[in-house]
Amino acid sequence: MRKFIYIFVFLCFCLGTCLSQNCNINNPLIIDAQYLNDAEYISNKIKEIRPDFKDNNITELKLQVNKCNIEIDKQIVLLKSQLQSISLDKQELLKVKDIQKIKEQITEKEKSCDNINKQIASDMQNVSFKGLFFAILKNIDPYNDSKEKLSIKADHLISPIAIKDLNGIFISSLTKVENAVTISEYIKSEVSGEVRNDKQLINTINPKYKIYIYLTKVVVSSLKKPVKTSDNYTGAKIDENLIINALADKGYKEKLTNFGINTDVIDMLEAEIEAAHESINSENDLASRSEKDIIANGKENLQQIKKEIEDLKTQLEKRSQILKNTIESKTTLKYDNNNSEASVNAAIKFLDDKMADLKNNMLIQKENELFSRFDVPVPFEGVSSLDIAKKTIEICKQLNTTYSKVEKFMETVEVQNAVVTNYQDGSAKDLFRAIDKIWLFPVAGQKDNYALTVIAKFKIIDEQQNTYTSHTTETKTDNLTYTPDSKIKTDTKTSVTTETKSNIKIDTRDVEVENDTKTPVTNNTPKTNSITDSRDGKTYNTVKIGTQTWMAENLNYETNTGSWCYSNIDNNCNKYGRFYNLEAAKKACPSGWRLPNDKDLNNLINIAGVDGAKKLKSISGWNNNGNGTDAFGFSALPGGFSNNLGGGTSLGISAFWWYTTDDNSIKATYRMDYNKNDIIKSRGNNNLGISVRCIKDTKNMTKKSNIL
């Protein structure tokens, strides 16, 4: 039965090749692709050929073009039907394919608990607790000891105490997370501690009493490895000086008095400590909540993996029972009990070869299609041949815009791997085309004008290379060389309104269509420009994507209120831009720029296409090799997000931006994650700290200007 099917498909292809002879255009006025923008060449060609077409020639041409395309559509319908049949056979085989692979997946998932713990620990490296410590150094030499030298000594004495005390807060917070004992114990085993000076509040020398007074706000990241400090003061003894945790030691004033510190100094320290006390406690509460959220998410991931393991075991049991029958029922091959892997691979190759032949044949048919513009008026403005040439260039641009993307005529649905057999996800590669050559039919009018008809044939090109595809076979037809590639799939809407009917009467390929969601035929290296914000002199790279001009980096303009840096570190602003709450985001963009709206975002998503986030993410900076290709120059960095108290979370993991909705509210955000290739829309809290990516505010934009 299957041999009969494949013989039938072959005969259909042969018939299609014969029928496509109706697509021959008998006209020496041919312009190849490389000259489609050369008005002088086209004009000279017209003068050389000196065509003399009449109205009846165009009438016959219309019938010929329509007949050609109808015949091609019939062949594609037949080939597509056979392709889908074989594709379904292959999918049935893939459902029960590779038992050993499922076993390996089960083993890997059983080992993944440790990886989850490590990921949690990695995420929690960004969780830090803050403290307030002071050091009183006696018997200093006011003439030789500088503040810089003394502050280094004080930091050296404070560091081990700060790490010990703030790590204690970190561990104490872990124990409060419910039903996460295993995760908490693992994290405790990874605690070490990196300390850094966040802000010096008091840094003064009292030469009269030969003492140095130092009060500083420190930050300890418990899961970061400590940076090796200088050993210049390793001989300093704490008991010769006074080091106190100002927020934890309620009796610090008595200790200062016993240490011989006068009342004025004690009062100065007390005032600074009271001023900083509340904000530090609030920041530590926020860090504790972040810590709990990370652990809770980790626990959820562990539960999900256990469920996946059970599902895999169920699939393994079912596939083991039906593998033999599936191979022998879906192919002409015999199943080898002693080598199931070889049998499966041979069966898949058998089906893939047949599908490749069908796809090659469809590409040949598609490249025989004729696209046309009939009876376009060309008024005389100078030399008639040059006027016709200019109009020809204009028509070619319209044709390329309208028909650049090939309709979804080769999509086949297949499982992507053995895990998702109950949720099949078809994968189709976008396929594009560009004009390969055109035929011109100018018909002289009665009053200083011509009626121009243009017939075009397109060549299939590959989106990634933006060049003609490399093929393995050639077929000569209509003075064109067709080299089909069986590996290419398409994923767009058809431009032929009656594609699936075998009795096609009318073709619509000569109708100009405007479509806001067409994908441009381009994958050249993105061209970036720059703008300078007159408010603060900062310069931002910009990039044009489709018809939109975006900033190619996050905004870093400091508003009066409502904006801050990740963890309040300026270098983070320089790299990731600033965070903005709702009110600040409304007025953050410079003049001539604005927040993107829902339509802008949808256009960006449509242009980026499948795996859009991967194409927009930067090529580095994302956790776990979650980097993108930055194909459009958007350069999205994983700057995380924050809240109205400052700080930050999800650095290296996610990126969030504000955008406006149809009702002009700005509670909407869009995001990208390190482990996903999709752009995700969500709703944001007004007080969250979210990045801003501005878009150029182009007024009076018409639908025509949005054609991609």
- Under the banding of pLDDT at 50, 70 and 90, the label for residue 6 is very low
Comparing 478-482, 564-568, 695-699, which segment has the lowest mean pLDDT?
A: 478-482
Q: What is the mean pLDDT of the chain?
A: 77
Are 489 and 429 in contact by the 8 Å Cβ rule? The answer is yes
Residue of 271, 253, 262 whose CA lies nearest to 209: 262
Are 135 and 157 in contact by the 8 Å Cβ rule? The answer is yes
What are all long-range contacts of 377-381, with beta carbons under 8 Å and residues at least 24 apart?
Answer: 377/445, 377/449, 377/450, 377/451, 377/452, 378/442, 378/449, 378/450, 378/451, 378/452, 379/448, 379/449, 380/448, 380/449
The pLDDT assigned to 179 comes to 55
Are 483 and 473 in contact by the 8 Å Cβ rule? The answer is yes
The pLDDT assigned to 408 comes to 54
What interhelical angle do 263-330 and 340-366 show, nearest 10?
90
Q: Which residue has the tokens 């390793």?
A: 234
Comparing 261-270, 384-393, 416-425, 459-468, which segment has the lowest mean pLDDT?
A: 416-425
**What is residue 525's DSSP assignment?**
P
Q: Which residue has the tokens 């091609």?
A: 72
Q: Could you read off the pLDDT of 562-619 as tens digits, one per residue?
A: 899 988 888 899 999 999 988 899 899 999 999 999 889 999 999 998 889 999 999 9
- Under the banding of pLDDT at 50, 70 and 90, the label for residue 216 is very high
pLDDT exceeds 90 at position 314: no
Kindly state the percentage of the chain with pLDDT values over 90.
Answer: 23
114, two tokens = 């440790």
Cβ-based neighbours of 632, under 8 Å, separated by 6 or more: 526, 543, 545, 607, 608, 615, 616
How many Å separate Cα 413 from the centre of its chain?
23
Q: Which residue has the tokens 């009493």?
A: 209
Q: Could you read off the pLDDT of 523-541 as tens digits, one per residue?
A: 345 656 899 999 999 999 9
The pLDDT assigned to 393 comes to 94
The pLDDT assigned to 342 comes to 83
pLDDT exceeds 50 at position 168: yes
The pLDDT assigned to 175 comes to 65
- Coil, strand or helix: which one is 306? helix
Burial 665-674 (b: 16+ CB within 10 A, else e): ebbbbbbbbb
pLDDT exceeds 80 at position 108: yes
Comparing 40-49, 80-89, 610-619, which segment has the lowest mean pLDDT?
A: 80-89
3-state helix, strand, coil in the chain (%, to 5): 45, 20, 35
Task: Quickly list DSSP for 642-667.
Answer: EETTEEEE-TTTEEEEEEB-TTS---
| Amino acid (1-letter code) at residue 18 | C
d(CA 215, CA 218): 10
- Under the banding of pLDDT at 50, 70 and 90, the label for residue 174 is low
d(CA 230, CA 156): 8
d(CA 542, CA 551): 4
Q: Could you read off the pLDDT of 248-279 as tens digits, one per residue?
A: 888 888 888 888 888 888 888 888 888 888 88
pLDDT exceeds 60 at position 167: yes
**194-206 and 211-221 strand pairing:** antiparallel
Cβ-based neighbours of 211, under 8 Å, separated by 6 or more: 136, 137, 138, 140, 205, 261, 265
478, two tokens = 């209509």
Q: H helices within 237-383, ranges in order?
A: 252-258, 263-330, 340-366
Cα angle value 339/342/346 (rounded, 5°): 140
Cβ-based neighbours of 617, under 8 Å, separated by 6 or more: 626, 627, 628, 629, 630, 634, 636, 655, 672
Cβ-based neighbours of 491, under 8 Å, separated by 6 or more: 408, 411, 428, 429, 430, 431, 610
Interval 500-519 mean pLDDT: 33
Sheet holding 680-683, edge to edge: 654-659, 668-673, 680-683
Are 655 and 639 in contact by the 8 Å Cβ rule? The answer is yes
628, two tokens = 């993108």
Rg of the chain taking only CA atoms, in angstroms: 35
d(CA 257, CA 88): 86
- Under the banding of pLDDT at 50, 70 and 90, the label for residue 683 is confident
Cβ-based neighbours of 308, under 8 Å, separated by 6 or more: 109, 419
pLDDT exceeds 70 at position 199: yes
What are all long-range contacts of 632-636, with beta carbons under 8 Å and residues at least 24 apart?
Answer: 632/526, 632/543, 632/545, 632/607, 632/608, 633/525, 633/526, 633/527, 633/528, 633/541, 633/543, 633/545, 633/552, 634/543, 634/545, 634/550, 634/552, 635/541, 635/552, 635/553, 636/672
- Under the banding of pLDDT at 50, 70 and 90, the label for residue 340 is confident
Q: Tell the burial category of 604 from Cβ atoms under 10 Å away from its Cβ (0-12, 13-18, 19+).
A: buried
Cα angle value 467/470/474 (rounded, 5°): 120
pLDDT exceeds 90 at position 439: yes
pLDDT exceeds 60 at position 34: yes
Interval 462-477 mean pLDDT: 36
How many Å separate Cα 69 from the centre of its chain?
38
Helical (H) or strand (E) element with 182: helix 181-189
**Residue 310 backbone zone (phi > 0: left; psi -120 to 50: alpha; other: beta):** alpha
d(CA 295, CA 183): 7
Q: Structure pTM?
A: 0.37
